[in-house]
Structure 1
Amino acid sequence: MKELNLCLEWYYPSVYSKPLSLEAVKEWETIWALLLQSQVKSETLVLKDFMVDNLVYLRKRQGVQRCGLLDFQDAVYGSRAYDLVSLLEDARYDVPQEIQSKMIDRYLEAFPYVDRALFLESYHILGVQRSAKILGVFTRMYKRYNKSKYLAHLPRVLKWIEQDLNHPSLKRLKEWFDLYMPSTERKVLNAD
């Protein structure tokens, strides 16, 4: 919950010039506790930072072994959806919806025993979780360390949140966002 609350601690006050009400924070935490309770805790190895910048092409190898991995020291056991959502909803790169859909289909074809509906539910829940955390982290990088380059990625992160909130399992969270951070008011911070 601590990582999730970075969005409320950094992004929200920077956009709205005030802290979020205690009532709204409690509601946020209640919704997330319910959503995360449904998530598999230790399904597979999760690299957590699985994104294109951490992939290396290894010429001398064959097949999938040509793909080398960097930045795996924070690996944990978790949901099989986490690394795929990290790759396809990268904060720094646009991945068209068509490519996302094809990659999800390809992944699920490779693992036919994985329940598609449950996987997609996890994918979208973890997508919003990850993006909300990133909103907070990138805002903090700007506010605390004056690293304005992170602000350029906020529109993409907001787009991923909007996209993932459309999943039916996130109805209550979408209602929370619509009430406390409506899409018309979610915005990118400007470097001062």
Structure 2
Amino acid sequence: MNTQSTREQQLLSWINLNTEFSCQSLVMVSADASFRRYFRFLSGDKWIIAVDAPPQYENIAAFLNVASSYSAAGINVPKVYAYDLDLGFYCQQDFGNTLFSGQLNQQNCQQLYKQALGVIPLLQKCTSTENGPLPEYDRALVDRELAMMKDWLVEQYLELDLSNTELGVLDNALKSISEKFLAQPKVGVHRDYHSRNLMILDDEIGVIDFQDAVVGPVTYDAVSLLRDCYQRWPSQWVEAWLKDLHQEYYAKYAWADFKYWFDVTGMQRHIKVAGIFARLYIRDGKSGYLADIPRTLEYLIEAANDYPEYKKFATVICDNILPAVLAKQQGCIDA
């Protein structure tokens, strides 16, 4: 029996022995980009979600603390019914199967994004939990994330040899992006506020996967949602949605500043995510995210090309990294 099967059996036993629920069998719902696995089971007439979150990899305490803070702020998050920090198991409310990402279309996206953007100011008020302040999105974390594209995507996945000039362009851009990212006003940040972490609940938005919440840039969650690595909409729509958000909640900041913060934050996030997608394949054997790398790099090129100080950076991505990704993926298809 492999490790995952053993964990599943332990989870089932834990539910029956240590919670108010009875469980005959577990049905896999999803396994995400982390080490968490989600199962659904029926106890009586009630569906429950059981989560396997191995404690050596996942921080259940952070999830519980943020859940309490978000709930108190009026954010619709799943109720947690039972947990065991040492084992890395918990049971939570079942929000169903209606993912935000699965419902989006050209007819309803205006209304759905308005709803989802309206939750962000509530998230931003949550800068602490009962156990103290949320972690800071500090320079050390930012710089670790910015290094991921070069380390995992360029060097390990693509095995791409960039020239010293090109490497210099990358290094200068990453340093500048880090500084501009950190200079923004700081608020509570969900950190993965995108279409696959939102649920549609009777015309309300349910929020999940928030255990990595931090205090960070004011535009971060808007970037995660509007420049979603799994969805792409016309740039004029995205700008219109962002302008509406700015006018309703952030008019104290000049629009030009807010848009610049949004674009720089988008660059930082997409640099990080491109590296994470490559790491998921190389380290964790998860190939499903490789198809999302081109979209992520296209976002990066688009944002960088809008600013003179990042045009050389955009060129390196456009002329070297993106073509190498596309060629490698085409080679895998042909093989």
Alignment TM-score, normalising by the size of structure 2: 0.49
CA shift for structure 1 position 114: 2.2
Aligned-pair identity in percent equals: 26
CA shift for structure 1 position 3: 1.0
Higher relative contact order structure (alpha carbons within 8 Å, sequence separation ≥ 6): 1
Name the SS of the counterpart of 2:188 in structure 1.
strand
The correspondence of residues 52-71 of structure 1 with structure 2, limited to 5 A, is 52-59=195-202, 66-71=204-209
Alignment TM-score, normalising by the size of structure 1: 0.82
CA shift for structure 1 position 158: 1.6
Partner AA of 2:179 in structure 1:
Q
The correspondence of residues 1-192 of structure 1 with structure 2, limited to 5 A, is 1-13=143-155, 17-20=159-162, 25=167, 28-39=170-181, 40=183, 42-59=185-202, 66-111=204-249, 112-168=251-307, 171-178=308-315, 180-183=316-319, 186-187=322-323, 188=325, 189-190=328-329, 191=332
Partner AA of 2:292 in structure 1:
H
CA 1:95/1:35 → structure 2, altered by over 3 Å: closer, same or farther? same
CA 1:162/1:28 → structure 2, altered by over 3 Å: closer, same or farther? closer
User: For the Cα contact (< 8 Å) 1:15–1:186, is it kept in 2?
Assistant: no
User: For the Cα contact (< 8 Å) 1:13–1:20, is it kept in 2?
Assistant: no
Greater displacement, 37-46 / 128-137: 37-46
User: For the Cα contact (< 8 Å) 2:147–2:272, is it kept in 1?
Assistant: yes
CA separation in 2, counterparts of 1:20 and 1:183? 11
CA shift for structure 1 position 55: 1.3
CA 1:7/1:154 → structure 2, altered by over 3 Å: closer, same or farther? same
Partner AA of 2:284 in structure 1:
Y
User: For the Cα contact (< 8 Å) 1:49–1:83, is it kept in 2?
Assistant: yes
Partner AA of 1:34 in structure 2:
S
Structure 2 alignment gaps of length 5 or more: 1-142
Partner AA of 2:273 in structure 1:
I
Greater gyration radius: 2
CA separation in 1, counterparts of 2:292 and 2:192? 16
Whose strand proportion is higher, 1 or 2?
A: 2
CA separation in 1, counterparts of 2:272 and 2:233? 19
Partner AA of 1:49 in structure 2:
D
CA shift for structure 1 position 42: 4.9
Whose helix proportion is higher, 1 or 2?
A: 1
Greater displacement, 66-75 / 35-44: 35-44
Stretches (4+) displaced over 6 A: none
Task: Kindly provide the CA deviation profile for residues 53-102 of structure 1, in whole angstroms up to 9, marking residues without a partner as x.
Answer: 1112232x8xxxx2221111211122221111110111111222232012
Partner AA of 1:166 in structure 2:
N
CA shift for structure 1 position 183: 3.3
The total of aligned residue pairs comes to 184
User: For the Cα contact (< 8 Å) 2:186–2:216, is it kept in 1?
Assistant: yes
CA separation in 2, counterparts of 1:143 and 1:118? 38
Counterpart residue number, 2:40: none
Structure 1 alignment gaps of length 5 or more: none
CA separation in 2, counterparts of 1:76 and 1:97? 28
